[in-house]
Amino acid sequence: MTFLSPEDKYPQPIVTGTTTVGIVCDGGVVLATESQATMGYLVASHKATKIHKITDHIAMTISGSVADAQQLIRIIRANVNLRRLELGREISVRAVSQLTAVMLFQNRLFPLITMLIVGGVDEEGPHIFTLDPLGSVLEEDKFAATGSGSVIAYGVLEDGYREKMSIDEAVELAKRAVKAARRRDIASGGVIQLAVITKDGIKMEVTD
Protein backbone atom coordinates (compact mmCIF):
# COMPACT_ATOMS: atom_id res chain seq x y z
CA MET A 1 0.00 0.00 0.00
CA THR A 2 1.44 3.41 -0.92
CA PHE A 3 0.60 7.06 -0.36
CA LEU A 4 1.78 9.90 -2.63
CA SER A 5 1.58 13.54 -1.61
CA PRO A 6 2.34 16.42 -4.02
CA GLU A 7 5.73 17.11 -2.44
CA ASP A 8 6.79 13.44 -2.52
CA LYS A 9 9.03 12.36 -5.37
CA TYR A 10 8.31 8.68 -4.82
CA PRO A 11 5.37 6.80 -3.23
CA GLN A 12 5.88 6.25 0.46
CA PRO A 13 4.88 2.85 1.83
CA ILE A 14 2.24 2.60 4.53
CA VAL A 15 3.38 -0.34 6.58
CA THR A 16 0.76 -2.63 8.09
CA GLY A 17 1.17 -5.70 10.28
CA THR A 18 -0.55 -8.44 12.20
CA THR A 19 -0.12 -11.93 13.63
CA THR A 20 -2.25 -14.91 12.61
CA VAL A 21 -1.83 -18.55 13.59
CA GLY A 22 -3.32 -21.86 12.46
CA ILE A 23 -2.90 -25.24 14.20
CA VAL A 24 -4.14 -28.72 13.26
CA CYS A 25 -5.04 -30.80 16.31
CA ASP A 26 -6.85 -34.01 17.16
CA GLY A 27 -10.32 -33.64 15.65
CA GLY A 28 -10.11 -30.04 14.56
CA VAL A 29 -8.32 -26.84 13.64
CA VAL A 30 -7.61 -23.78 15.78
CA LEU A 31 -7.16 -20.36 14.19
CA ALA A 32 -6.04 -17.36 16.23
CA THR A 33 -5.19 -13.70 15.59
CA GLU A 34 -4.84 -10.44 17.43
CA SER A 35 -7.26 -7.62 16.61
CA GLN A 36 -5.19 -4.51 15.93
CA ALA A 37 -5.22 -2.82 12.51
CA THR A 38 -2.41 -0.38 11.75
CA MET A 39 -1.47 2.17 9.09
CA GLY A 40 2.21 2.85 9.58
CA TYR A 41 2.54 4.23 13.12
CA LEU A 42 -1.21 4.82 13.43
CA VAL A 43 -3.44 2.28 15.18
CA ALA A 44 -6.49 2.43 12.92
CA SER A 45 -8.60 -0.05 14.93
CA HIS A 46 -8.38 -2.15 18.08
CA LYS A 47 -11.22 -4.44 16.96
CA ALA A 48 -10.48 -5.46 13.37
CA THR A 49 -11.96 -8.82 12.39
CA LYS A 50 -9.18 -11.08 11.12
CA ILE A 51 -10.89 -14.48 11.11
CA HIS A 52 -13.63 -14.90 8.52
CA LYS A 53 -16.06 -17.77 8.14
CA ILE A 54 -16.21 -19.17 4.58
CA THR A 55 -18.48 -22.19 5.11
CA ASP A 56 -19.90 -23.93 8.18
CA HIS A 57 -16.60 -25.87 8.53
CA ILE A 58 -13.97 -23.64 6.88
CA ALA A 59 -12.58 -20.28 7.95
CA MET A 60 -9.74 -18.00 6.90
CA THR A 61 -7.34 -15.64 8.65
CA ILE A 62 -6.17 -12.47 6.92
CA SER A 63 -3.03 -10.36 7.09
CA GLY A 64 -1.87 -7.44 4.95
CA SER A 65 -4.17 -4.91 3.33
CA VAL A 66 -7.58 -5.01 5.01
CA ALA A 67 -9.43 -3.73 1.93
CA ASP A 68 -7.81 -6.32 -0.35
CA ALA A 69 -8.53 -9.12 2.11
CA GLN A 70 -12.17 -8.11 2.65
CA GLN A 71 -12.83 -7.93 -1.08
CA LEU A 72 -11.23 -11.33 -1.59
CA ILE A 73 -13.31 -12.85 1.23
CA ARG A 74 -16.54 -11.59 -0.40
CA ILE A 75 -15.59 -13.09 -3.78
CA ILE A 76 -14.51 -16.41 -2.26
CA ARG A 77 -17.73 -16.80 -0.28
CA ALA A 78 -19.85 -16.16 -3.38
CA ASN A 79 -17.87 -18.60 -5.52
CA VAL A 80 -17.79 -21.28 -2.84
CA ASN A 81 -21.57 -21.06 -2.42
CA LEU A 82 -22.05 -21.37 -6.20
CA ARG A 83 -19.73 -24.38 -6.30
CA ARG A 84 -21.61 -26.05 -3.45
CA LEU A 85 -24.88 -25.61 -5.35
CA GLU A 86 -23.34 -27.07 -8.50
CA LEU A 87 -21.93 -30.11 -6.72
CA GLY A 88 -24.75 -30.62 -4.26
CA ARG A 89 -22.30 -31.18 -1.42
CA GLU A 90 -19.76 -29.43 0.79
CA ILE A 91 -16.40 -28.72 -0.81
CA SER A 92 -13.07 -29.60 0.77
CA VAL A 93 -10.58 -27.34 2.51
CA ARG A 94 -8.09 -28.03 -0.29
CA ALA A 95 -10.67 -27.01 -2.92
CA VAL A 96 -11.34 -23.69 -1.16
CA SER A 97 -7.59 -23.09 -0.96
CA GLN A 98 -7.11 -23.86 -4.66
CA LEU A 99 -10.04 -21.61 -5.62
CA THR A 100 -8.52 -18.80 -3.55
CA ALA A 101 -5.14 -19.41 -5.18
CA VAL A 102 -6.67 -19.05 -8.65
CA MET A 103 -8.27 -15.73 -7.71
CA LEU A 104 -5.01 -14.41 -6.31
CA PHE A 105 -3.04 -15.53 -9.36
CA GLN A 106 -5.51 -13.87 -11.71
CA ASN A 107 -4.64 -10.58 -10.01
CA ARG A 108 -0.87 -11.17 -10.13
CA LEU A 109 -0.17 -8.04 -12.20
CA PHE A 110 -2.00 -5.93 -9.58
CA PRO A 111 -1.70 -8.27 -6.60
CA LEU A 112 -4.00 -8.30 -3.61
CA ILE A 113 -1.66 -7.55 -0.73
CA THR A 114 -2.74 -10.26 1.66
CA MET A 115 -1.46 -13.53 3.07
CA LEU A 116 -3.98 -16.09 4.22
CA ILE A 117 -4.36 -19.20 6.32
CA VAL A 118 -7.26 -21.40 5.20
CA GLY A 119 -8.29 -23.90 7.86
CA GLY A 120 -11.15 -26.30 8.30
CA VAL A 121 -12.48 -29.82 8.64
CA ASP A 122 -13.82 -31.93 5.78
CA GLU A 123 -14.39 -35.63 5.05
CA GLU A 124 -10.64 -36.24 5.10
CA GLY A 125 -10.14 -34.55 8.45
CA PRO A 126 -8.64 -31.23 9.63
CA HIS A 127 -6.37 -29.19 7.32
CA ILE A 128 -4.63 -25.83 7.07
CA PHE A 129 -3.10 -24.21 3.97
CA THR A 130 -1.14 -20.96 3.68
CA LEU A 131 -1.40 -18.75 0.58
CA ASP A 132 0.82 -15.87 -0.48
CA PRO A 133 -0.32 -12.74 -2.42
CA LEU A 134 0.39 -14.36 -5.83
CA GLY A 135 -1.66 -17.46 -5.11
CA SER A 136 1.08 -19.91 -4.25
CA VAL A 137 -0.44 -22.65 -2.10
CA LEU A 138 2.32 -23.44 0.33
CA GLU A 139 2.63 -27.04 1.43
CA GLU A 140 -0.05 -28.24 3.83
CA ASP A 141 1.35 -28.24 7.34
CA LYS A 142 0.34 -28.91 10.92
CA PHE A 143 0.81 -25.30 11.99
CA ALA A 144 1.41 -21.95 10.32
CA ALA A 145 1.71 -18.23 11.05
CA THR A 146 1.52 -15.10 8.89
CA GLY A 147 2.01 -11.39 9.34
CA SER A 148 4.66 -9.15 10.84
CA GLY A 149 4.62 -11.11 14.11
CA SER A 150 4.88 -14.52 12.44
CA VAL A 151 8.60 -14.94 13.15
CA ILE A 152 7.93 -14.64 16.88
CA ALA A 153 4.84 -16.84 16.71
CA TYR A 154 6.70 -19.56 14.81
CA GLY A 155 9.24 -19.83 17.63
CA VAL A 156 6.45 -20.64 20.10
CA LEU A 157 4.73 -23.03 17.67
CA GLU A 158 7.94 -24.91 16.84
CA ASP A 159 8.66 -25.39 20.52
CA GLY A 160 5.15 -26.30 21.67
CA TYR A 161 3.51 -28.26 18.87
CA ARG A 162 3.12 -32.02 19.03
CA GLU A 163 1.13 -34.54 17.02
CA LYS A 164 -2.40 -35.39 18.15
CA MET A 165 -2.58 -32.58 20.69
CA SER A 166 -6.07 -31.94 21.99
CA ILE A 167 -8.20 -28.97 20.97
CA ASP A 168 -7.75 -27.38 24.40
CA GLU A 169 -3.97 -27.77 24.13
CA ALA A 170 -4.00 -26.27 20.64
CA VAL A 171 -6.04 -23.30 21.85
CA GLU A 172 -3.54 -22.63 24.64
CA LEU A 173 -0.60 -22.94 22.22
CA ALA A 174 -2.23 -20.56 19.72
CA LYS A 175 -2.89 -18.03 22.47
CA ARG A 176 0.72 -18.27 23.67
CA ALA A 177 2.00 -17.71 20.12
CA VAL A 178 -0.16 -14.64 19.54
CA LYS A 179 0.62 -13.22 22.99
CA ALA A 180 4.37 -13.60 22.36
CA ALA A 181 4.05 -11.76 19.05
CA ARG A 182 1.84 -9.13 20.63
CA ARG A 183 4.55 -8.36 23.21
CA ARG A 184 7.39 -7.99 20.68
CA ASP A 185 5.77 -6.84 17.40
CA ILE A 186 4.61 -3.21 17.48
CA ALA A 187 2.02 -3.82 14.75
CA SER A 188 0.27 -6.57 16.75
CA GLY A 189 -2.08 -5.77 19.61
CA GLY A 190 -5.60 -5.81 20.94
CA VAL A 191 -7.56 -8.84 22.06
CA ILE A 192 -7.08 -12.37 20.73
CA GLN A 193 -9.67 -13.75 18.31
CA LEU A 194 -10.07 -17.54 18.22
CA ALA A 195 -11.90 -19.95 15.94
CA VAL A 196 -12.19 -23.62 16.89
CA ILE A 197 -13.30 -25.69 13.90
CA THR A 198 -14.56 -29.27 14.25
CA LYS A 199 -16.96 -31.53 12.35
CA ASP A 200 -19.73 -29.88 14.39
CA GLY A 201 -18.99 -26.40 13.05
CA ILE A 202 -17.07 -23.24 13.95
CA LYS A 203 -16.96 -21.76 17.43
CA MET A 204 -15.66 -18.18 17.62
CA GLU A 205 -14.50 -16.45 20.77
CA VAL A 206 -12.52 -13.43 21.96
CA THR A 207 -10.10 -13.42 24.86
CA ASP A 208 -7.39 -11.28 26.41
Q: Using one digit for the tens of pLDDT, what is the confidence trace for 162-180? A: 999 999 999 999 999 999 9
Q: Which residue range is the domain that position 188 belongs to?
A: 17-207
Domain harbouring 30, CATH code: 3.60.20.10
pTM score, whole prediction: 0.86
Q: How far apart are CA 146 and CA 153, in angstroms?
A: 9
Residue 5 lies in a domain: no
* Number of compact structural domains in the chain: 1
Which one-letter DSSP state was computed for residue 71?
A: H
Residue 149 lies in a domain: yes
Q: How far apart are CA 63 and CA 51, in angstroms?
A: 10
Residues ≥6 apart with Cβ < 8 Å to 78: none
pLDDT at residue 9 in the model: 53
Residue 8 lies in a domain: no
Is residue 39 a contact partner of residue 54, using CB atoms and an 8 Å limit?
A: no
Is the model's pLDDT at 58 over the cut of 90? yes
Residue 2 lies in a domain: no
Residue 9 lies in a domain: no
Residue 10 lies in a domain: no
Residue 144 lies in a domain: yes
Residue 7 lies in a domain: no
Cite the active site residues.
Answer: 18
Predicted confidence band at 22 (pLDDT cuts at 50, 70, 90)?
very high
